Structure 1
């Protein structure tokens, strides 16, 4: 009898553990890696500059999604202290390029298992339990996004500042949608502008 009670307690504990491990987990937004390149001389030329925002060469300027990213970059440039002007009167041009790709990542099997076994009573009655959980969650889709911005002198075409922001977001996360990804990544890219040249930082 004591063995049977012990087995039932183990069974109850295993079921409780199973309910905890299978409860939904709210994923946090992925970190954004930001890298910038510039020189003291080029940054000095950007001080107080009026900048216009365009799609980078090779991208479709008529794309509605591209417009979302351009608008996000324009807002952050204003917040960083840049001015605006008509194309012919601007000091610099910010060229925006976005690369997005969805990849499939295979989930790894988690090292979790529960086993309970026993035999009690004169007639060999028994209680047994075996559980195996795959905590990897199976294959997952990730959206890989890179936002690149290059600020050029409008007259000479010389690159004055370059930066990129990269993220790996769960495809099911709301932050993967362009409407949320664009302002979030643009904000990370221009946080602390101009940044330390060549250094890669992570922004939550």
Structure 2
């Protein structure tokens, strides 16, 4: 492989790594002293949850599976000892534009700038000027949040509660509801009950 091709590959690798890096999950949990670690639990909609569609059921299923892995037994309806109330939210924000609303362009071996003009550059005296055109419409960043509250059904006492959030580029596998639901539920309920009052980052 020529020196020029090697240099192109070396510069491109960090960009590819950034594009494919697995999103991290921010997790915060709270619980009473010595919360239950077993028993029957039913997953239900949290009051005020904005979505009770098929997508909500995807999140509810992921939460149920995560509680099973934590030692609980799934149950239906009012016969369960505990109820896991679930709510989720997805929001979108634009990305990839500068303050002048012009698409960002990247010139490998050159510079980062805005506008349509490409600034050539050299790398190691080889005259390397590889342009990456990002002039198409940039994808939004999707923020997905999951909120779960575990209550004792007999007296409605909350014994455990947690929130988790993650971000991914719209259209990427990590932004798909099924993938996001599984990742959030696993990060949030994995290691149940977790340290109360502490926010952690889960890869």
**TM-superposed deviation, 1:71:** 0.5
TM-score where L is the length of structure 2: 0.74
| Contact 2:37/2:70 (8 A) holds in 1 | no
Distance 1:55 1:13, change over 3 A: same
Give 1:56's match in structure 2, choosing from 37, 42, 46. Answer: 46
**1:100 and 2:90 matched:** yes
| Contact 2:4/2:128 (8 A) holds in 1 | no
Q: Name the CA distance, whole Å, in 2 between partners of 1:20 and 1:141.
A: 28
**TM-superposed deviation, 1:155:** 2.5
Q: In the alignment, what sits opposite 1:28?
A: 21
Distance 1:80 1:67, change over 3 A: same
TM-score where L is the length of structure 1: 0.73
| Contact 1:60/1:66 (8 A) holds in 2 | no
Q: Name the CA distance, whole Å, in 2 between partners of 1:34 and 1:183.
A: 14
**TM-superposed deviation, 1:197:** 0.5
Q: Name the CA distance, whole Å, in 2 between partners of 1:62 and 1:31.
A: 26
Q: In the alignment, what sits opposite 1:186?
A: 185
Distance 1:29 1:62, change over 3 A: same
Question: Which ranges of structure 2 fall in alignment gaps of 5 or more residues?
Answer: 98-103, 111-120
Which entry has the higher C-alpha Rg, 1 or 2? 1
| Contact 2:29/2:198 (8 A) holds in 1 | yes
| Contact 1:95/1:149 (8 A) holds in 2 | yes
